[in-house]
A = this chain, B = another copy of it.
Amino acid sequence: MKAFQGEQRLRTEGWLAVQDITDEVTEAVRESGVRDGIACVYSPHTTCCVRVNELENGFLEDFAALLRRLVPSDGYYAHDDWERRTENICEEDMERGNGHAHCISMLLGSAGESIPIRDGELCLGTWQRVLFLELDRERDRRWLVQVVGS
């Protein structure tokens, strides 16, 4: 049984900027030596997520429009109300609220994705790519990949 962890750092380009990390995840799977198992790709941030989907600019534009409609950034967010907020104070967030980014993150689901590995390869479908999604502003971020198997 093998277990391997990789970690990568990146600088994102702002709200809903998407970075294709498929090649780095593929490389980590090769480095792990795992032939059959699972790759768990994970964002350790509360306003980012890792998602497996298609990378096509029209689709990303459509998805941004959908999120703007469902979770507008200019609504009232108690998370950004500094007259009320007393927990988890982060100075960086006081300049620019990110309540909408937290709501989007929770709506989109889990922090990461688990992808099967067979014969040493990620079992991605034809159009699937592993994407790192920024849901907040331009920031320094990182992601992890944990590979387990034999």
Contact = CB atoms under 8 A, between A and B. Distances in A.
B46 A128 contact: yes
A148 B44 contact: no
Copies in the complex: 3
A4 B87 CA distance: 34
Interface residues of A, number: 69
A33 interface: no
Contacts of A1: 1, 149-150
Contact of A53 (B61, B102, B123): B102
A20 interface: no
Contacts of A57: 78, 87
Contact of A108 (B4, B46, B62, B109): B109
A17 to B, nearest CB: 15
A5 B118 contact: yes
A contact face: mostly helix, strand, loop, or mixed:
mixed
A81 interface: yes
Contacts of A44: 123-126, 128
Contacts of A118: 5, 146
Interface of A: 1-5, 35-38, 40, 42-46, 51-59, 61-63, 66, 70-71, 77-81, 84-85, 87-88, 90, 99, 102-103, 105-118, 123-128, 144-146, 148-150
Closest 7 CB pairs of A and B: A109-B109, A44-B125, A1-B1, A58-B78, A116-B146, A3-B36, A58-B79
